[in-house]
Structure formats: C-alpha cells, structure tokens
Amino acid sequence: MGIEPGGWTPAQAEAGEAEQQGARGVLTVPQASALTWLIIVGLAVLVVSGFLLSRHHASAEPSPGGTGSPPPVAATVPAAGATAQIVVDVGGRVRHPGLVTLPAGCRVADAIAAAGGPLRPADLARINLAARVSDGQLLLIGVPGASAETIGGSGDPAPVDLNSATVDQLDALPGVGPVLAQRIVDWRQAHGGFRTIEDLQQVPGIGARKFSDLKALVVV
C-alpha cells in the first residue's frame, strides 16, 4: 500500500488542536492570575482599612490617667456668691407705697427711691437717708411722730389721734391721701368724734384691708 499524499492530515489536525488548546491555555492562565490578584488586592485593602479604623477609634478614646482635657462640667454658682435681697415696706408720703425688693445693705434713700420718691421734699427733712434698711422693715415717710426706722429699727412711731389729727397728719398715714383724710375729719365732725378705732371702718373708702393697715397707727 502506498502512502497517500494527504496521510499526514490527521496529524496536522491533531497538531492544530494542540495548538488551539495551547492557545486557549495561554489565554485562560492570565485570566485566572488576574482574578487571583484582584482577590489578593481586595483582601489587602480590607485588612489595611480595618487596621486604620482600629487605630482611629483607639486614638479617639481617652486613656485612663491621660493628660487629655476632662469632659465639660456644668458650671454652678455657689450660693454664697449670690447677691442677697431684702424686702422693705415703704409707706407714708411716697408716690408708690408698698413692698420694694432691694439688695442687702441698701440705705433708706434707696428704699424711698424704689417707692417712687417722696411726695414732697419736706417729708425727708427729719429722716436719716443714710441709715441701712433690713429685711422686713417698715419705713413710714412723712408720718408725724414716726422715725425712718419703725419696725426692726430705733422704735415705733407715735400713733395718730383720730379725734385731734389734722388733714395733713391723716394724709401722711400709709394709704391715706388728702381725699380720704378729709373724709375722716368730716366723719369725726358729723358723729362727734371716734369712740373706738373700729369706727374708722365707717368712713367711706376704708375697707377691711385698709383698716388692717391703719389700726396699729391710730388711737382714739
């Protein structure tokens, strides 16, 4: 049997297949290596990121006994540093008689100013404006016989006689203005005088509250 010219064709085909397989092998190896490198690089990135995050959290937490600044603490004002206040009752011939609140250590002049000032400058003629006032003190300004310090001070004021007091003297009583003072005088003349202090409640304009403020300051 003779050898046919194309007898090597199968061998060539096998060589072609081997080359194709080899070519495919050459193509697939780089693809597998790239995937592997991508996985390695990804793992490395995760490891580095985790390390950096752990260092960041560790540096943010204050270490015990460290020299870092302590956490802020709400500031409190000590009670001893607070300015003490007192309440004084200012009555008589002032523009706004009643209770006034003043810093501790104030003078009589400060209390009168807080009550709106005197009705007449002459009402201050016999008052020691430099005297200190105390908590709960009563100041009767311009009241006949009253000192600048009546309660907790140098003494109580001399009471006003309802049967002999003038309009000006009655006007100087706390809460009594010239109109009400004239009514008291008119009632006294119409009824032959006051027999008891309680008769003062019969005067128009003097209710239970005003009588309560006046009863300790008047006599009959």
What are the tens digits of pLDDT across the range 155-212?
445 678 899 888 888 887 877 888 999 999 999 999 999 999 999 999 998 988 888 8
Residue 126 lies inside a defined structural domain of this protein: yes
**What is the reported pLDDT for 218?**
87
Which pair of tokens denotes residue 47? 């490891």
Residue 42 lies inside a defined structural domain of this protein: no
Residue 115 lies inside a defined structural domain of this protein: yes
Q: How far apart are CA 178 and CA 176, in angstroms?
A: 7
Quote the number of domains for the chain: 2
Residue closest to 93 by CA, chosen among 141, 137, 145: 141
Residue closest to 125 by CA, chosen among 148, 106, 107: 148
Intervals of the chain under pLDDT 70: 1-33, 53-83, 144-158
**What is the reported pLDDT for 76?**
42
**What is the reported pLDDT for 210?**
86
**What is the reported pLDDT for 80?**
43
The verdict on 154 and 178 lying in the same domain is no
Residue 114 lies inside a defined structural domain of this protein: yes
Residue 46 lies inside a defined structural domain of this protein: no
**What is the reported pLDDT for 220?**
87
Domain end call among 134, 158, 182: 158
**What is the reported pLDDT for 157?**
55
Task: List residues bridging with 86 in a β-sheet.
Answer: 102
Q: Residue 185: which domain range?
A: 159-220
What DSSP letter does each residue of 98-135 carry, written as one string? EEEEEETT-BHHHHHHHTT-BSSGGGGTT--TTSB--T
**What is the reported pLDDT for 146?**
60
**What is the reported pLDDT for 56?**
60
Residue 218 lies inside a defined structural domain of this protein: yes
